[in-house]
Amino acid sequence: MSRAVAAGLVVVLLLLPWVGTGEYPLALLYSTFMYAALAVAWNVIGGFAGYLSFGHATFFGLGGYTTGLFLVRTGLSPFLTAPLGAAVAAGFAALAGYPCLRLRGPYFAVVTMILGLAVRAVILNLPWTGAAEGLWMTLPPWEPLVARRAFYYAMLAVALVTALAGRAVRLGKMGVGLEAIREDEEAAQSIGVPVVRLKMSALILSAGLTGLVGGIYAYDRSYIHPDFMFDLHLSVLAVLMALLGGRQSWAGPILGAVVVRLVDELLTVRVGTEAARIIFGLGLALVIVLLPDGLLPHLERLRRRAPRPPAAVPAAEARL
Amino acid sequence: MAQVLQALATGLLTGTVYALLGAGFSLIWGVAHVINIVHPALAVGAAYAVYLLAAHGVDPLASLAVVVPLFFLVGVGFHEGVIRPAVRRGGDLVLVSMVLTFGLAAALENVLAAVWGPGPRVVNVAYTGRAVQLRGLVLPITHLAGAGLAAVTIAALYLFLHKTFPGKAVRAVWQNPEGAALCAINLRQVTSLTYGLAIASAGVAGVALALIYSFSPASHLMWLVFVFLVVIVGGVGSLLGAVVAGMLVGALTNLSTLVIPFAWAPFLLFASLGVLLLWRPTGLFRR
């Protein structure tokens, strides 16, 4: 995507709430920004470094619980404490990340999944977090439309920060290092890539951004419970969106998030939640079978009008 | 003391069932390098099949005659129709298999919820609620039946893998696919066979679990945790490892409820898993 198009898009999104846009489109866009931020954040460790986390809901939930508890205890607005939520999630990633990142491939995936379930079990048993009753927050006495606008801008800001961070990592030196780790960790280490430091930084950054999203989401929901703040579906959804869009680029997950969010919304509105989940699950399976590299490489190819066999995308082309 | 022995006994019985569920999962992971998230969901499906048949007066043990062949075919079809096309397309096998099978598990869960509702179900048979007394230990017959079923199935799997030619071929492919192919072993057939066996064993585990526990469409997530624990503690692809790990997990979960509040039991399990991973990342029994 060229810079001008991206800048134009951001301006349109910034102005959108003031051209008579109703609550529903704003809410839909809000959740799209949220999904996009989650997917881009996941991609920093899962896509660039190839460490497939299936437990990013852990960081999301930690961020949400941090802002929630701050609001309940001190009255500080989550719009202010969201960065603290990010810090808590990042801190947890720093602690848990070291042992986890010693594991590779399927082991890392499984352990991160278990980690999320473990943190959920802990929160469910800590009385000061509201435990199994959940935590209620009071929203400021805003008009519904005002509240929607506020959350729209908050999540847009989070998504932009996340996208810029993802872009900076991908295009910077760190991205090269992470790519080397993904392709061959031993070889990367032997030529002097600081493997442990890079993996840790990627996980901490990814967790922090995910915590930021969770912090805002919790406030919007105004009631949080471990069951949906640490939901495994959310972890897998982040993976799916990045996978669908294309894991090699920083922008791919955004595309994946937009597609997933819109399809999900359409299905839920048209056929109801249960049937939507069935279709969604099967569609997900189909997408994986048909498009293992994601959408973006195919779109790129279309744009260049240079058809190639749908084999693996060379590393040089992977950079966007 | 009696309490401890009682907890240990029940824990070992349920642990045997976890071992069976973990063994099939471990077999697919070992032979095909696929993390089959839908494995416990299929077991839940089997539990519902038992529920359906029990409503028509069929004993859970008799329903095995339907469940085992059906699930064997499901396993073969799952490999030929879903996994193989996905693998041939390339991509990261761990990622593709986990997302793919999670999608299938979510779909299956919601199909079950659409038919039977999200609430828990219990299979009632003639011997539900009855127990055998043994030196002060109370052993429910349903637990004994479930554990016995699991133990017999594990033994059969072990004998098959170690004593028969096709079983040895499965192990050969697990150890070294290229080498196995050079010995004229048909990789596709053997992998299909592995899936058939593993999914059939998931069916049996589902029958056993239906005897012991109540279940709901969402139960598969909790069972998935136990499966992960069994496989990671026992080591991928190791049948005996899965047996020991299953019993260990079952016993530990039950014993811990004596010392700490029930709700904290899962946490203890996860914490011990974390320590284990730091100490021996590939499990206790990996060769």
User: Looking at this predicted complex, what is its ipTM?
Assistant: 0.79
Nearest CA in chain A to B271: A118
- Give the pLDDT confidence of B164-187 residue by residue, as tens digits: 999 999 888 888 888 888 888 888
Nearest CA in chain A to B92: A292
Nearest CA in chain B to A51: B95
- From chain A, the residues in CB contact with B98 under 8 A are 52, 54, 106, 109, 236, 239
- From chain A, the residues in CB contact with B220 under 8 A are none
Residues 1-60 on A with a CB inside 8 Å of B are 50, 52, 54
The whole-number pLDDT of residue A157 equals 94
Q: Is B110 in contact with A277 (Cβ distance < 8 A)?
A: yes
- From chain B, the residues in CB contact with A274 under 8 A are 110, 113-114
- From chain A, the residues in CB contact with B277 under 8 A are 99-100, 103, 107, 111
pLDDT by residue for chain A (320 residues), tens only, comes to: 578 888 888 888 888 888 877 888 899 999 999 999 999 999 999 989 989 898 999 999 999 999 999 988 888 888 888 899 999 999 999 988 888 888 888 888 888 888 888 888 888 877 787 777 888 888 878 888 888 888 999 999 999 999 999 999 999 999 999 999 998 889 999 998 999 999 999 999 999 999 999 999 999 888 888 888 888 888 888 888 888 888 888 888 999 899 888 888 888 888 777 777 788 778 777 777 777 777 777 777 777 765 555 555 444 444 44
- Give the pLDDT confidence of B36-95 residue by residue, as tens digits: 999 999 999 999 999 999 888 888 888 899 999 999 999 999 999 888 888 777 667 877
Distance from CA of B202 to the nearest CA of A (A): 19
The whole-number pLDDT of residue B158 equals 93
A302 close contact with B: CB closer than 8 A: no
The whole-number pLDDT of residue A12 equals 87
Nearest CA in chain A to B90: A292
Q: Is B92 in contact with A50 (Cβ distance < 8 A)?
A: yes
- Note the maximum CA span of chain A: 60
CB A290 within 8 Å of CB B89: yes
- Give the pLDDT confidence of B29-38 residue by residue, as tens digits: 988 888 899 9
Give mean pLDDT, residues B211-239: 86
The whole-number pLDDT of residue A320 equals 46
Burial class (CB in 10 A: 0-12, 13-18, 19+), A191: exposed
Q: Is B228 in contact with A283 (Cβ distance < 8 A)?
A: no
The whole-number pLDDT of residue A317 equals 45
Per the document, the length of chain A is 320
Q: Cα Rg for chain A, rounded, in angstroms? A: 19
Phi, psi torsion values for B140, nearest 5 degrees: -60, 140
Q: Which SS3 state, helix, strand or coil, does residue B140 take?
A: strand
- From chain A, the residues in CB contact with B114 under 8 A are 274-275, 278
Distance from CA of A284 to the nearest CA of B (A): 6
Given phi > 0 = left and psi -120 to 50 = alpha, else beta, which region is B57? left
The whole-number pLDDT of residue A306 equals 54
CA distance A35 to A27: 12
A125 close contact with B: CB closer than 8 A: yes
Question: How many CB pairs (< 8 A) connect A and B?
Answer: 133
Q: Which H or E element spans position A312?
A: none
A263 close contact with B: CB closer than 8 A: no
Mutate to test the interface with B, among A42, A103, A117, A183 (most CBs of B within 10 A): A117
